Structure 1
Amino acid sequence: MRLLREGDGAALAAAYARNREHLAPWDPERPDDFYDPAWQEQQVAGAVAEHAAGRHVPLVLAADDGSVVGRLNVATIVRGAFMSASLGYWVDGGRTGQGLMSAAVAAAVVHARDVLGLHRLEAATLLHNGASQAVLARNGFERVGLAPRYLRIAGRWQDHVLFQRILHD
């Protein structure tokens, strides 16, 4: 796992194209431009700028050959009295069930606590995303509620289970 960096657009576009069917049930509907390396490179530039501003930690899971096999974002970092961020992630369809995302989330939790100094991480999953819920449970996240029609995923507003992990007591 490493920080997203300029020049990752082509590898991201390839990863998203390779995982288009795998991610479709869990993602918003994507325009065709989403799978274009130039479009992805623009998104990379924005994420790198958000990281420089302290609002986002954009990470990639990279294979030995440099291909992207997953993403993890510590996003919407809020300081002050909240000291919290949102966690989002996905792993390549050919890499599920190998513990990669559980390990990546564990590393992100440590980074959020020890480097970012955050108090809390939150995450949301679709009701039927048992694999993602298991990743969160293995990493000490607790279910805190249900958000009806929380995000527009796969073309419709869908309910999500909300999770949090308190990092400092």
Structure 2
Amino acid sequence: MIKPSQLTPSVELRLATVDDAAALADAYTRSWDHLARWEPARPADWFTPEGQRARLTSILESFDRGTAVPLLLAEDDRIVGAVTLSDIVPGPFRNAHLGYWLAAEAVGRGLMTLAVNAAAELADTELKLHRLQASVFVHNAASHAVLERTGFTQIGFAPNYLYIGGRWQDSNLFQRILNNRAPGA
């Protein structure tokens, strides 16, 4: 069971539900000018409650299969960000990809550092993972800083890694080793 984590007195990191669809659509709409340079092109329904409901239904099915954990940063009745553990692999790898975004109005408050640390703790203690990995555009200094503050180390460079903003962009690759337990321990 994924328990909510109180990041600050007003911000909670919690598991997403389909009931978050309208608030998530609102968050993307409010912050798209801020997020667009880091995100792939999105269809028009991405910004609607219906589109987000379909997306949440899909990722929650992945959660039920044990391959993803979609977390939201909620402040009062608004969504101000998300952290997702995806492509979770059990067995000898025990790894997940980490992705995250923060709404424009939440930037500069230290929230993503708190959220990534909380997600890493969850990955270690609840999911029993060994490692998290993340990729970050080489020009995304804020995201590099979040990963460095939360114990990630750069392990590589991936040229032409993601097609965002109408071009292939380079990324730096990071990992955080959570523990050295044997699988099943």
TM-score (norm 2): 0.89
Deviation of 1:18 after TM superposition, in Å, equals 0.4
1:84-112 CA distance string (max 9 Å, x none): 00000011111111000000000001100
Q: AA paired with 1:128?
A: H
Q: Does 1:102 align with 2:105?
A: no
Q: Quick one: percent identity of the two aligned structures? A: 48
2:166 equivalent to 1:155: yes
Which of 81, 92, 97 is 1:86 aligned to? Answer: 97
Structure-1 separation of matches of 2:166 and 2:17:
30
Matched, 1:138 2:184: no
1:123 aligned to 2:134? yes
The alignment partner of 2:147 has SS state of: helix
2:41 maps to 1:26: no
Equivalent-residue separation in structure 2 for 1:156 and 1:33 (angstroms)? 23
Distance 1:35 1:92 in 2: 14
Structure 2 stretches of 5 or more lacking a match? Answer: 1-12, 181-185
The gaps in structure 1 that reach 5 residues or longer are none
- Is 1:63 the counterpart of 2:55? The answer is no
Rounded to whole Å, the distance in 2 between the matches of 1:11 and 1:128 is: 29
Aligned residues: CA RMSD: 0.8
Name the CA distance, whole Å, in 2 between partners of 1:69 and 1:166: 27
Detail structure 1 runs of 4+ shifted over 6 Å in the superposition: none
- In structure 2, how many angstroms separate the alpha carbons of the residues matched to 1:86 and 1:121? 6
Q: 1:153, CA displacement in angstroms?
A: 1.2
How many residues get paired?
168
Alpha-carbon distance between aligned partners in 1 of 2:109 and 2:139, rounded to the nearest angstrom: 20
